[in-house]
Structure formats: structure tokens, C-alpha cells
Structure 1
Amino acid sequence: MGHGAALQRRLHLRRRHRDRRRVDDLSGVGVLRADPGDRRVAQETSGAVPVREGRLIVSNTLELARFVTTLRFADLPAEVVTKAKEIALHAWGVQLAASTLPWSAQVYRFVESQGGVPESTVVNYGLRTSAINAAFVNGSFSHGFEMDDNHARTGTKLGCVTVPTATAFGERDHMSGEDFLTAIVAGYEVATRVGLTIRPGLDVQSAHPTGSVGAFAAAATAGWLLGLDEQTMAHALGGAGAQRSGLNEIPTSGRGHLKRTFGGMAAAGGIRSALLAREGLTGPLTTLDLGSGFTRTFGVDESTIGNLTEGLGKEWEILTVHYKIYAQDGYIQPMSEAFEKLRARHPFRTEDIASVWLGTNSLAHDDIIGPITDPQDVTDAQFSANYSAALYLVKGGAAFDEYTEENLHDPAVRDLASRVTLTVDREIEDDHVRFRPRGAKVSVTLKNGDEYHETVKDLRKMAPEDLDEKYRNLSRRVLDEERSEKLLETAHQLDAVADLSTVTPQLVGERQNP
């Protein structure tokens, strides 16, 4: 698409956004809040909800679609706008750093081999490809080194889905920074609520949280930027329910690097749903209703179904998102934080450690950070509690510079890892069952008999200045200091950007040849 045609498209979409009308009475469009067990509701509607054989479909999917399509930048509280800017900056920093890793190069080579219309930019490499392919590879970069943002109550990492999606379409259609930020918020608010609704069933299904709900985030983000109307958006969300991907499969033999692509898979799946819906492909309008396909898969019942719409547009789930401090699974993060606190109070030497004890919850112990005790690659190391504890204590950190092939085989780390014990702690387990925090306990026993103990009930939140520093450390693996600071300044002022295609060149580093 030439610049002139793209500009006309952008103006058309902006007019559509501007002409949307907020409607607070959702029943006016046929979205009825009825007893979820009553599938034969009889009520006059405007026709937005289909009636089939006398049955009125009561649709949470339509209600979420209405929220997305009527959301405007002016609706967003200042703190929500600030949070969306933070998430974008953070995701771009992670993408830049992770793009340099071997598995990221593999994903890049795959996308490069597919060709595609030159619509959107691949971070670091500068390749211009289709929006869906760019979002796939950038989403894989963003989820590529366990340094994501995280919504604790659902375990979803949506910056690796919404930001690549919004960046790809924002560049392609010359959207404004306000549009970009609004679309990201729409994606977060939809997907986190889906995550809260299905959370109990995720563990039973061994389903990856981001892979399971990320397509909803991408469909909402892309659909908003595409200017979909309510009915079409509902079909996009319906399609997203069929795009779930990713398993929490962590065998003792290792999980491989496939997990790195789950963010990209979710982004591509949601984009595909939105684009197909725009072309007229219909899907179920009941995907997120009680007893329907997606919710039935995860065993959703009356106790959680209300999470889909309660507080929608008033209580902003995006504000509860935090950012990983360490490059490891979220259940290991509080252990590293505990060691950091212990070392600040008791500067013991690594060679004086006799043994280490770690306390976590049963889910983490049995299925996530406990199975792999002898990691054979960096991905497995980031999900191995005993290795990661030893890595932090020996190397003094657990970030990008510590999780390396060299340290994977370091004799001192391996020796200490063999003396680390992981168990289920009853207090941490009870807290996790009730509130799902990422807590842990640690104990370090020295050879002289001294013992040091620390409990972290939930993860430390990054202050804005800490987030900026994390971004700097990541982005400068690709960008020089001047360009890194320029992108930082741009992110802080995204709501003033007139055309996102002026931002994406800032995400390109020195040309790589993976």
C-alpha cells in the first residue's frame, strides 16, 4: 500500500473511531444479563443478538466486543495511559535484547523465508513483512527470555501479544500513538478477564496461560485498530477462542525452545481471527458464555463466569501488571529476591554454603519449576528452581548476563545446585490457593551451622525509574546509547506521536545475519 493510500485508510479508520458512540445500557443492543443457566430468554432486542429456533443467545462475547469497539482514548484514566506506555517500552526493550538469541534467529529465518507484503518491521533486523508475520516474530522475541510483564492473578504475559500486534498495525496503517495505546489497553482488559474466568481450569488442562488467552488480546487489539464494528469484533473474539495454543509441558527431559514462540503464536492467531472476521467470516457469538465451547473446555462455572464483565471499563486490570526483575520463571523470582535480601543482611560467601532449602506451592513444585533438576539448555535452566537458586548465589544475579551457555555448565553452579532442595511449603501453598501470589521461602545453611531464612510473600514491583533502567540494559544490546535514549523518550511521549510508522525505524539495530 502506498503512503497516500495508507494515509487515506488511516483517516477513514480514525473517522470510524471518532464516530463511535458510547452506550452504557448494554441491554439496548441485546446483550442481556440473565441467569446463565437459562438459555431460553425471551425479550425484545434490537437484533444485534441472533435468535435461532426461538433461542436468544445471551452473549458475554458481544458485551466484550461492545466494550472494545466503544473504547476511546479519552476514556482512559491517566494512570492507565502511563501503564500502557510502560508496557510498550518494556516489551520493545525485551524484543531488542531477545532478538539476538539463537532461538530468536531461528524464528526470524523462518519468517524471512515466508516472504510477505512489506507492511510491518521486524525488530532489530529491519525486515519488512506482513503485519501478521511481523507480530509473530516480534511476539516470539518478546516472550523469548523470561523477562516479560506479568498479570499475577492469571499468569498471563500480554505485552508479548498486544505490543507486537499494535506495533505491526500501527505502522502499517499509520495510526497515532493514542490509537496504539488504546488498542493495547483493549487487548489487556479483554484477555485478563478471560484469564481470570478460566484460571482454575488452566492448571487442570496443563494449558499455558498466555497461549490460551493471548489470541483474545491480539484480536481485540488488532480489531480496534482495524475499526471493526461490534458484531464483527464479536466474531473476531469468537474466532480467537479457537486459536488457543501452548502447553505447560515441562518434562524432566526438558521442554525445548518452543515455549519462546507462545507470545508470537497468540499474536498471529488473534490477528488472523480479526482479519478473517473483517472479511466476513463468522464465528460463534457464545464462545465466552457459560457452557459454551471455550469456557466448557476449562470447566468454567458460576463462580468465575462473572469475571468476564464485572467492573469492565471501571476497574482496569492493566494497572495490576508488573515486570519481571529476573530472567526466570515467575515462581522462581521470589526466591531470587529472597536471596538478594539475605545477602544484603548477611554477606556470606558462596563457598561457605552447606545447603539451600526452597519452599513453594504445589503447582510450581510438581509442574513448573520442580521437574527439571539437571537442565541441559538455557530454557530449561530458567525453569529449574535448584539450578536458578545456585546461579544467583554463585554469580550474584539471574538476568540476561547470568543465564548463558557458559554458566549452564559452570562447575561451582552445578555443585551448589546439587545441594538445593525444593519442597512444598504449607503457608505458601495456602496463600497461592486463595490469592495466587508469587511467594516463596528460602533458607541457607552455612558449613559452620548458621542458618538464614527469608520469606517473600509476593513479588517486588518495579518503580518507573527501575523499569527505565531495565529497558536501557536490554535495548543497549542492540542500540547505541543515543538511539536507546531516543526510543525511551519516544515511549514516554507515545500519546503525542502522530504516526507510529515514524517510531518503528527506531527499533532497528545494526543488521544481523542470523
Structure 2
Amino acid sequence: MSLSHEIVQAIRQRQKRGLPEYIREKVILHICDTIAISLPAYKGAPIALKSIAGLSIGVKGGIGRVIGSEYRLPPAYAAFANTALAHALDYDDINDLARIHPTPVTLAAALAAADAEVSRRTDLITAVALGNELLCRLGYAIEPKGTGADSKWFLSQLFGYLGAAITAGLVLGLDDEELVHALGLAYMQAAGGKEPGVGTGSQARSIYPAFASMGGVQAAFLAREGVSAPTSCMDGKTGLFINYFGENLNEKQRSVLLETETWAFSDTSIKLYPSCRYSHPFIKSALVLRKHFRLNEINQIVIGINKTANMLCQPLENRCNPKTLQDAKFSIPFMVAFALVHGNVHLNNLTEEALVDTKVLNLTKLIKIEQTQVDTPGIPLGDIMIVTAKGTKRQIERILPETPFDEVKKKFIECCQYANVAEPEGLWETLRHNLDFDEVSRLPMIIH
């Protein structure tokens, strides 16, 4: 049996068994969060709107809804648009161990398929849950440490094609063979080179997962129409794993990917800062340290990183003087200085104006980078030492995978307020208790 067949078989086992209540509740939270961060993108992430405009030239009109607007596009293009909106602010959920942002990809795929199918064969929450679990499992199987072959790829994009294809396929009601072909057709489009994140000066990193949702949705529709693809796309001689990671999965890795008793998605976090996840433990440490010093007392800031985090610190001059907001969010030195100056990081203060904030820029001149940590699964500790004439203080903070419910609700309301949504509390309660495809279609319009 091919690995593609085994993946589909594992998904069917989970689907037949049904979602545990705690997973169902968690998926609802993550969908609510993804919707919430999509709405302020109209105001705070012009790159998403430019990308949608560029992609939809000549194809405006269709059945695919774009969250927060009256736009209608063909389903695959709508999937691109919705993922671009959800990821553009760098505020989306993430599984730190898998190094994947799952829900922006799968939610967009599910909505696109639902808009094209009157009879939805899988409900929204289940489809997103199963797609998310596949994405997280794919990440767990390769055990990414941020070095070696896995460091070359945005895993949310590379594996996102597969997750989106399965999610859309479940909503469309594809049978097992059709789902296998959808995986093969998704593989034929797979991409995700990481240079837009490692290099500087690019805005495109804001939208990279959108290509995956678009391609995965297209794969599902092609499979429904009877287009076949090699069943060996995952584990053949030129299959996905050997092409992108140098070797096929071994037995241990296959068992991690195919295990169905536990839920890898349970370790997925909802972000509390709109910046690259690698910056979060350092932001957390900076916010603790700023309580102990005035800015004019600081002589030096020593940031202790690992090899992977160093990619977000070098070249230091560029990272300390970002030219785009995307560069700022992907810079650990800049985000540390920003947190020390402002005492918080949120949509209202982390804007284009931050790029010329002299207090932040002057503070970055005091930053020194040291490699104090080894690469491990997940994200590094937030290791910061502040040196003053009176002495030094070191703070090391850890980011935990679970996000408190109250913090998620607070973020939802703040995002809605930023987007000028009326009665965000009411919207929160409606989505929390009545979440389905049709409820999403009644979301507030940000752009008419």
C-alpha cells in the first residue's frame, strides 16, 4: 500500500471515530481566531489586497467568498485570497514542533470547496480538524529543527498543498481513491522555498501559504473530475519526501505520520503577538526586563539565540534597520527593541511607522547576538541579558503551546475593533456556538 493510501486510511479512521470534544472546541477557537485576524488585514496589511488584486486579474466573479468583503472569485482563487488575509499580519496559529501554520490554509480550502458544493459532505469543524491534523503530523514526521533540509522550506506551504487538498476533498465528498489522486495532484504543485523569510526586503513572505491553499483546492477539484495522479507521489523514487528532504520516511517516521490515537493539533498555539513566532519568547523576556530598567540606563542588550534563530538576526545591520514591516516582524533584534520601548506588541503600534521609530532604532544599536542555545524541536528560549552601569540582569522565558481562552477572546475582540466591526462580543458568541459554513458567509463586510 502506498503512503498516500495509508494517509487517506488514517484520515478515514479519525473521521469515522469522530472528533473528541476537546479537539472540537479547540478547532472552533482556531477558526474564530483565523477569521478575526483576517478582518484587520484590510486595514493593516495592504500586501494582501495587492496580492489578491494581482491574482484575480481577468477572473473576478465566481462562487468563492472572500472573508470580510463582497468579492467573489473562482474557488481556488478565493482560497488564495482567504489564506493571504489570514497570514498577512503574521498573527496566525502555529504548531511550534511541526513549524506549521495550519488553520489559515485548511479553513480557506474548506470554505472554497463548500461554496462550490451545495451538499457539503463534511462539516466545517471536522474538515478543518482533519486537515490540520494531517499538516501537524507531516511536520512531526520529519522532526524539523530548523537546520538541514527542513530549513530550506516553508513547511506551511510545502505541506499545505496536501492539507488543503484533503480538507477540500473531504468537503466535496471525494472517495478514498479520489483523495489519493488529490494528494498526487497537490504534490505536482508543491513549492515553498524559504528565501522570502531568510532574506530581507521582501513583502511576499506575508502570503506564502496562500499558494498552498489555492493549489490544494485545485487538486481536489481536478480529482473530482476524474484526473488521476501517481499514488506513489509521497514515497516513490522521486516522491515528495525524497525530493525535498533527501530520503523517504523511515518506519518510525511513518508511524508518527499515521498514528491516529492522539492529536498533534492539540499542541497548536494561537499567537498573541503579530510577528514571527521565533520572536515571541524574546518579546516575552523583553517585556519582563523593561520593568527593571529605564531605556537611558541600558548600555548593551545581549540576545542569546540558537543557529535557527540566528537567521532572524543576520545580517545584524539589516535586521536592526528593516525596510519593510515584514522585515521588522521577522527580526528578533528589532522586535526586542520594539518591546522594550513600547511595552507591548499589537496591531495598533506595530505598523509602518515603527520602521522610523528613532527610540527603537537607537536601541537596536546596543544589541549584541550570541549563540547560547542549541537547535531543538520547537522554538528557542527567550534569552536576553541587559547590561547597565549598575549591573546586569538576564531573563529567560519560554512560550508554552496552549493559549489561555481569555487571551484568545481578548485578541478576537481587539482584532474586530481594529477592523471597525460593530459588536465584536456578539460576533464572538455567535461563532463560538453556531460555527458552520453558512455562519461564516454572514460575517461583517469590511470592504463593499
TM-score, normalised to structure 2, is 0.91
For the residue of structure 2 that corresponds to 1:422, the secondary structure is strand
1:436 matched to which residue of 2? 378
Q: Distance in 1 between matches of 2:198 and 2:216?
A: 32
Residue 433 of structure 2 corresponds to residue 493 of structure 1: yes
Instruction: Name the count of aligned residue pairs.
Output: 440
Pick the aligned partner of 2:110 from 166, 176, 182.
166
Q: Distance in 2 between matches of 1:227 and 1:149?
A: 27
- Does the 8 A contact of 1:288 with 1:294 survive in 2? yes
Residue 21 of structure 2 corresponds to residue 66 of structure 1: no
Pick the aligned partner of 2:299 from 324, 349, 354.
354
1:277 matched to which residue of 2? 223
For the residue of structure 2 that corresponds to 1:247, the secondary structure is coil
For the residue of structure 2 that corresponds to 1:156, the secondary structure is coil
Q: Answer with 297-306 or 470-479: which moved more.
A: 297-306
1:208 matched to which residue of 2? 154
Q: Which amino acid in structure 2 is aligned with residue 508 of structure 1? A: M
1:506 matched to which residue of 2? 443
For the residue of structure 1 that corresponds to 2:301, the secondary structure is strand
Q: Distance in 2 between matches of 1:195 and 1:284?
A: 22
Within a 5 Å distance, the mapping from 1:236-315 to structure 2 comes to: 236-249=182-195, 254-289=200-235, 292-297=238-243, 298-300=245-247, 301-302=249-250, 305-312=253-260, 314-315=261-262
The structure-2 alpha-carbon separation of the partners of 1:423 and 1:68, relative to structure 1 and needing over 3 Å to count, comes to: same
- Does the 8 A contact of 1:385 with 1:422 survive in 2? no
Q: Distance in 2 between matches of 1:76 and 1:82?
A: 10
Q: Distance in 1 between matches of 2:198 and 2:131?
A: 35
The structure-2 alpha-carbon separation of the partners of 1:252 and 1:212, relative to structure 1 and needing over 3 Å to count, comes to: closer
2:23 matched to which residue of 1? 80
1:471 matched to which residue of 2? 412
For the residue of structure 2 that corresponds to 1:368, the secondary structure is coil
Pick the aligned partner of 1:318 from 265, 271, 282.
265
Pick the aligned partner of 1:400 from 319, 338, 347.
347
Q: How big is each residue's C-alpha offset from its partner over 1:147-179, in whole Å with a ceiling of 9 and x where there is no partner?
A: 110011111001110111122333443567970
Q: Answer with 106-115 or 221-230: which moved more.
A: 106-115
Q: Distance in 2 between matches of 1:138 and 1:98?
A: 10
- Does the 8 A contact of 2:382 with 2:398 survive in 1? yes
Q: Answer with 155-164 or 456-465: which moved more.
A: 456-465
Q: Distance in 2 between matches of 1:460 and 1:230?
A: 33
Q: Which amino acid in structure 2 is aligned with residue 456 of structure 1? A: E
Query: How far is 1:293 from its partner?
Result: 1.3
Q: Distance in 2 between matches of 1:456 and 1:73?
A: 41
Within a 5 Å distance, the mapping from 1:149-164 to structure 2 comes to: 149-164=93-108
For the residue of structure 1 that corresponds to 2:395, the secondary structure is strand
Query: How far is 1:70 from its partner?
Result: 5.4
Q: Answer with 118-127 or 412-421: which moved more.
A: 118-127
The structure-2 alpha-carbon separation of the partners of 1:200 and 1:105, relative to structure 1 and needing over 3 Å to count, comes to: closer
Q: Distance in 2 between matches of 1:458 and 1:253?
A: 25
1:185 matched to which residue of 2? 129
For the residue of structure 2 that corresponds to 1:358, the secondary structure is strand
Residue 355 of structure 2 corresponds to residue 412 of structure 1: no
Query: How far is 1:472 from its partner?
Result: 1.1
Q: Answer with 449-458 or 367-376: which moved more.
A: 367-376
Q: Which amino acid in structure 2 is aligned with residue 160 of structure 1? A: P
Q: Distance in 2 between matches of 1:465 and 1:73?
A: 32
For the residue of structure 1 that corresponds to 2:299, the secondary structure is strand
The structure-2 alpha-carbon separation of the partners of 1:376 and 1:278, relative to structure 1 and needing over 3 Å to count, comes to: same
Within a 5 Å distance, the mapping from 1:104-183 to structure 2 comes to: 104-173=48-117, 179-183=123-127
Q: Distance in 2 between matches of 1:309 and 1:393?
A: 41
Q: Distance in 2 between matches of 1:369 and 1:224?
A: 41
How well do the aligned residues superpose, as a CA RMSD in angstroms? 2.4
| Structure 2 spans left out of the alignment, 5+ residues | none
Q: Distance in 2 between matches of 1:95 and 1:338?
A: 28
For the residue of structure 2 that corresponds to 1:359, the secondary structure is strand
Q: How big is each residue's C-alpha offset from its partner over 1:20-71, in whole Å with a ceiling of 9 and x where there is no partner?
A: xxxxxxxxxxxxxxxxxxxxxxxxxxxxxxxxxxxxxx31210111233454
For the residue of structure 2 that corresponds to 1:197, the secondary structure is helix
For the residue of structure 1 that corresponds to 2:350, the secondary structure is coil
Query: How far is 1:109 from its partner?
Result: 1.7
For the residue of structure 2 that corresponds to 1:287, the secondary structure is coil
Q: How big is each residue's C-alpha offset from its partner over 1:485-509, in whole Å with a ceiling of 9 and x where there is no partner?
A: 33312221245x4xx2343231422
TM-score, normalised to structure 1, is 0.80
- Does the 8 A contact of 2:196 with 2:205 survive in 1? no
Query: How far is 1:82 from its partner?
Result: 0.5
For the residue of structure 2 that corresponds to 1:99, the secondary structure is helix
Q: Distance in 2 between matches of 1:257 and 1:180?
A: 31
- Does the 8 A contact of 1:394 with 1:412 survive in 2? yes
Pick the aligned partner of 1:328 from 261, 269, 275.
275
1:23 matched to which residue of 2? none
Q: Distance in 2 between matches of 1:253 and 1:200?
A: 20
Q: How big is each residue's C-alpha offset from its partner over 1:317-360, in whole Å with a ceiling of 9 and x where there is no partner?
A: 1111001211221111100011222345x2x2222211111111
Q: Distance in 2 between matches of 1:187 and 1:175?
A: 19
- Does the 8 A contact of 2:141 with 2:257 survive in 1? no
For the residue of structure 1 that corresponds to 2:384, the secondary structure is strand
Q: How big is each residue's C-alpha offset from its partner over 1:186-218, in whole Å with a ceiling of 9 and x where there is no partner?
A: 111212222223344974341111111111110
Residue 177 of structure 2 corresponds to residue 231 of structure 1: yes
Q: Distance in 1 between matches of 2:218 and 2:196?
A: 28
Rg comparison, structure with higher value: 1
Q: Distance in 1 between matches of 2:396 and 2:132?
A: 31
- Does the 8 A contact of 1:249 with 1:255 survive in 2? no
Q: Distance in 2 between matches of 1:95 and 1:270?
A: 20
2:387 matched to which residue of 1? 445
The structure-2 alpha-carbon separation of the partners of 1:175 and 1:413, relative to structure 1 and needing over 3 Å to count, comes to: farther
| Structure 1 spans left out of the alignment, 5+ residues | 1-57
The structure-2 alpha-carbon separation of the partners of 1:70 and 1:304, relative to structure 1 and needing over 3 Å to count, comes to: closer
Q: Percent sequence identity over matched residues?
A: 23
Q: Distance in 1 between matches of 2:344 and 2:191?
A: 32
Q: Which amino acid in structure 2 is aligned with residue 246 of structure 1? A: G
- Does the 8 A contact of 1:112 with 1:127 survive in 2? no
The structure-2 alpha-carbon separation of the partners of 1:305 and 1:299, relative to structure 1 and needing over 3 Å to count, comes to: farther
